[in-house]
Amino acid sequence: MNISLVFATAVSGCSIFALAAFGFSSQAQAFTITGSADGVWSNPILDEANLCLKTPNHPECAKMVQGVGTNKFSWGTVAKISATQKPNELTFTGNSFSADFGSWFKVGSLKYFNAINYADTNVKNVTLNLDLSFDTDQKPVNKLLPVNFNLVNTPNPPKPKNIQELKDLAYSDRVEFATPLPTAKITYHLDTFLVEIFGFGKPTFFSPPQTTISAVEDDYAKNQYGIEHEIYARVSYAGKPDSVPPTNNVPEPSTVAGSLLAGMYLLYRKNFSKQKAKSSCG
């Protein structure tokens, strides 16, 4: 009798552990995030030295900023010495994505061309309205995430001798994420999820987010990620919304089974203790 009770106690304890682990994994198991991203440019802010702030009727002002409301934004008046005669340009290309929940995934890429333009035709900030669409078992969940970029312009020498002098790294301009990196929350099935932007390049355990890309005059930005700089994001669980009160949800089958086994285990322990007390008393 004592031997069978000990065996029953051991079996029930192992069963509780197995079911508890199963119940946890069934609730926290990874699932796939799928969807697509798109984006258009908005709200360009002129540099303090821009001539259009003082003389808005200047002929150059009508064409100084182009592409608002599209995925290709350009700005500045091209200098005569430019070999390409291209203006500054930012092009965002969105894509579809599929990744494990909590993992970083690519939402699109940014292409940056740095022109040789006149110093009084610069823009200092622009916003990418990132439109994220997440697939669900019902209708897609959409989130518009404004991503602000600073356009940092480095002064060129007053009288450059030639274009090669302007291509010195000392005169390179850059595009950088305005800090802090953007986040947003979405609600689905009474749960809240956090959407985070990482920066440029695929995240690794040892690499901090890359928030800046640069390029010399009349050239595309180049670095380890190539000309098109990948932008990464992820979705993680953020809990219940503050406005939603806790509900008495029906427990999952694994939770019910675990509770029943827990009761059986305690009952066996109680009987086992009584039998042990009788044996010790003769």
Distance CA 93, CA 130 (A): 10
Nearest Cα residue to 102 out of 236, 7, 269 = 236
| Tens of pLDDT, residues 30-70 | 578 999 999 999 999 999 999 999 999 999 999 999 999 99
Quote the crossing angle between the two packed helices 2-28 and 253-280, to the nearest 10°. Answer: 160
**What pLDDT, on the 0 to 100 scale, is given for residue 242?**
65
Element (H, E) at 264: helix 253-280
214: which strand partners? 174
34: which strand partners? 98
Chain mean pLDDT for the chain: 78
Give the chain's radius of gyration (CA, Å). 30
| Tens of pLDDT, residues 77-105 | 998 888 899 999 999 999 999 999 899 99
* DSSP reduced 3-state for 207: coil
7 and 86 in one domain? no
pLDDT band at 228 (very low <50, low <70, confident <90, very high): confident
23 and 154 in one domain? no
Q: Given a cut of 60, is residue 273 above it in pLDDT?
A: no
Has residue 199 been placed in a domain? Answer: yes
Question: What's the predicted TM-score (pTM) here?
Answer: 0.72
Has residue 227 been placed in a domain? Answer: yes
* DSSP reduced 3-state for 89: strand
> Domain containing 12: what range?
2-28+251-280
- In sequence order, what DSSP letters do the residues of 62-74 get, joined into one string? GGSEE-TTSSEEE
**What pLDDT, on the 0 to 100 scale, is given for residue 253?**
45
Q: Given a cut of 70, is residue 271 above it in pLDDT?
A: no
Q: How many CB atoms lie within 10 A of CB 145?
A: 20
